[in-house]
């Protein structure tokens, strides 16, 4: 019986992965629509919280402010990226030539007089093609922006009747309270994650802009925005946020002083923020195993690309909470957790 159950689970997991990969074009706009809806709704709820005692903003006004703020944020980010991408692409050939010279100098310093394989490899690395592929990926997201907005709009329409539908589905069997409690826990955990990540990402990107601007790094605003997004990618994002600005500085300048300033100062900020401040603030709220985070980053990145990397932690948080509610799947939830302690089943 155990072998049959394991085989059934293997078939279910394989079919789910196949569905996620094959249906990527259909699922991604909907998933991004859910993310946008959640961001706006969470911000609106924050605005609607009582201020100055019992004073609170009406829900329509809170929603309007949230839409304006999220829309303004996307406009600023889009404008910053749009104004700098073309300039970055135009500057890439000079960076590429400089990088090739640096590699050749490094090989000579290492005592390797002839390194044709390495030189040919570096010569074949087209940074322009790499930047172009990133720009193409961004353009693909923009191309489905209209569909994402449509999904988001209909999610807000559906939100007004969701609880009533839920009550009708579980009417009379005592499960409505349990489902609502699970949804409330998921909502609380995801909001904590988004709030902490966004706050620290904003602070980190602002400090990165200050450090890079102080040493004269090209396109400091553009790379600060990239640092902001890198911060949402667990583990790997922190490394990329350090390496990318440092390498750009090394390529741009002829001396090592700006490179060392960016690497040491911003690297220290990034390491302290990601490894000391964030865990101290986050506490045990997520309780995901670091191994699970890395594996989920690879899996979801393979399935859904960069979007999967951004969403891997929230997806696994939801999975852990849901799996903890059923006796048959609680062992899986325990394996996903950091310390073996998982949310108790809601009666």
DSSP assignment of 34-101 equals HHHHHHHHHHHHHHHS-BTTTB---HHHHHHHHHHHHHHHHHHHHHHHHHHHHHHHHHHHHHHHHHHH
- Whether residue 260 sits in one domain with residue 205: yes
Residues 271 and 297 in one domain: no
Same domain, 266 and 207: yes
Whether 131 and 82 map to the same domain: the answer is yes
Does residue 148 carry a pLDDT above 60?
Answer: yes
Backbone angle region of 335, left / alpha / beta, with phi > 0 → left and psi within -120 to 50 → alpha: alpha
User: In this structure, are 212 and 240 located in the same domain?
Assistant: yes
**Long-range contacts, stretch 226-233, CB < 8 angstroms, 24+ apart:** 227/201, 228/201, 228/202, 228/204, 229/201, 229/310, 231/197, 231/200, 231/201, 231/204, 231/205, 231/274, 232/197, 232/201, 232/310, 233/297, 233/309, 233/310
Is 11 inside a domain boundary?
no
- Is the CB of residue 333 less than 8 Å from the CB of residue 323? yes
73 and 122 together in one domain: yes
Q: Which residue has the higher pLDDT, 338 or 110?
A: 338
CB 83: neighbour CB atoms within 10 A?
12
Question: How many C-beta atoms surround the C-beta of residue 286 within 10 A?
Answer: 20
Looking at the chain, the whole-number percentage of residues with pLDDT higher than 90 is 1
> Is the Cα torsion angle 321, 322, 323, 326 positive or negative in sign?
positive
pLDDT over threshold 50, residue 118: no
Q: How far apart are CA 41 and CA 33, in angstroms?
A: 12
Asked whether residue 9 is assigned to any structural domain, the reply reads no
Reported as a single tens digit per residue, the pLDDT across 224-265 is: 888 888 888 887 888 888 888 888 888 788 778 888 888 888
Where is mean pLDDT largest: 78-92, 113-127, 296-310?
Answer: 296-310
Q: How many CB atoms lie within 10 A of CB 116?
A: 8
Q: Which domain holds residue 331?
A: 286-347
Average per-residue pLDDT for the chain: 78
Question: Which tops the pLDDT comparison, 120 or 308?
Answer: 308
Percent over 70 (pLDDT), the chain: 78
By the 8 A CB rule, do 259 and 222 touch? no
Report the C-alpha gap between 12 and 226 in whole angstroms: 37
For 288-347, the pLDDT digits (tens) are: 888 888 888 888 888 888 888 888 888 988 888 888 888 878 888 888 887 777 766 555
* 168 within domain boundaries: no
Q: Do both 319 and 265 map to the same domain?
A: no
Closest to 262 measured CA to CA, from 328, 306, 207, 303: 207
CA distances from 291 to 161, 276, 288 (A): 39, 18, 8
pLDDT the model gives residue 259: 86
User: What is the Cα–Cα distance from 186 to 322, expressed in whole angstroms?
Assistant: 9
Q: How far is CA 83 from CA 88, 208, 209, 230, 260, in A?
A: 9, 19, 16, 20, 28
**Structure tokens that stand for 279 in this block:** 């865990």
Residue 134 CA, chain-centre distance (Å), reads 16
Residue predicted with more confidence, 139 or 201: 201
> Same domain for 232 and 296?
no
pLDDT digits (tens, 9 = 90+) for 48-78: 776 555 667 777 888 888 889 888 888 887 7
Assess if residue 268 is contained within a domain.
yes
**In whole angstroms, what is the distance from residue 50 CA to residue 177 CA?**
26
User: 173 in a domain, yes or no?
Assistant: no
Does residue 5 lie within any of the structural domains? no
Domain assignment present for residue 110? The answer is yes
- Residue after which a domain boundary falls, among 284, 315, 331: 284
Residues 270/238, Cβ–Cβ less than 8 Å? yes
Number of structural domains (the chain) is 3
* Domain end position, chosen among 232, 250, 284: 284
Same domain, 219 and 99: no
How far is 68 from 157, CA to CA, in rounded Å?
19
Residues 6+ apart with CB under 8 A from 101: none
Please tell me whether residues 191 and 278 are part of one structural domain. yes
Determine, yes or no, domain membership for 167.
no
Question: In the prediction, which pLDDT does 306 show?
Answer: 81
Comparing CA positions, the residue from 229, 315, 230, 233 lying closest to residue 27 is 315
Chosen domain end from 103, 123, 157: 157
Phi and psi, residue 221, nearest 5°: -65, -40
pLDDT at position 346 is 52
What is the residue whose two structure tokens read 């999610």? 155
Give mean pLDDT, residues 102-118.
60
34 with 125, same domain?
yes
d(CA 161, CA 159): 5
Nearest CA-CA partner of 319 in 291, 283, 343? 343
Question: 144 and 31, same structural domain?
Answer: yes
């Amino acid at each position: 019986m155990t072998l049959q159950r394991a085989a059934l689970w293997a078939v279910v997991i394989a079919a789910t992965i196949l569905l996620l990969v094959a249906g990527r074009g259909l699922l991604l706009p909907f998933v991004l629509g859910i993310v946008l809806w959640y961001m706006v709704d969470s911000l609106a709820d924050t605005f609607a919280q009582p201020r100055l005692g019992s004073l609170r903003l009406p829900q329509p006004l809170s929603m309007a402010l949230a839409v304006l703020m999220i829309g303004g944020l996307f406009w600023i980010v889009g404008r910053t990226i749009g104004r700098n991408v073309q300039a970055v692409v135009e500057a890439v050939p000079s960076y590429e030539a400089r990088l090739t010279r640096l590699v050749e100098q490094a090989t000579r310093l290492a005592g390797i007089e002839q390194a044709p394989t390495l030189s040919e490899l570096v010569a074949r690395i087209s940074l322009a093609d790499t930047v172009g592929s990133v720009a193409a990926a961004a353009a693909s997201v923009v191309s489905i922006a209209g569909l994402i907005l449509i999904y988001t709009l209909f999610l807000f329409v559906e939100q007004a009747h969701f609880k009533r539908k839920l009550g009708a589905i579980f009417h009379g069997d005592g499960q409505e309270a349990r489902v609502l409690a699970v949804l409330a826990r998921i909502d609380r955990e995801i909001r904590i994650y988004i709030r902490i990540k966004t706050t620290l990402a904003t602070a980190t990107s602002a400090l990165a802009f200050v450090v890079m601007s102080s040493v004269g790094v090209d396109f400091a605003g553009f790379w600060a925005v990239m640092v902001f997004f890198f911060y949402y990618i667990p583990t790997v994002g922190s490394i990329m946020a350090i390496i990318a600005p440092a390498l750009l500085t090394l390529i741009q300048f002829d001396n090592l002083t700006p490179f060392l300033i960016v690497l040491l100062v911003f690297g220290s900020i990034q390491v302290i923020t990601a490894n000391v401040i964030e865990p101290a603030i986050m506490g045990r709220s997520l309780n995901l195993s670091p191994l699970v985070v890395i594996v989920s980053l690879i899996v979801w990145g393979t399935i859904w690309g960069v979007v999967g990397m951004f969403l891997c932690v929230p997806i696994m948080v939801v999975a852990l909470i849901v799996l903890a509610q059923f006796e048959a799947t609680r062992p899986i939830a325990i394996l996903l957790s950091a310390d073996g302690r998982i949310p108790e089943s809601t009666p």
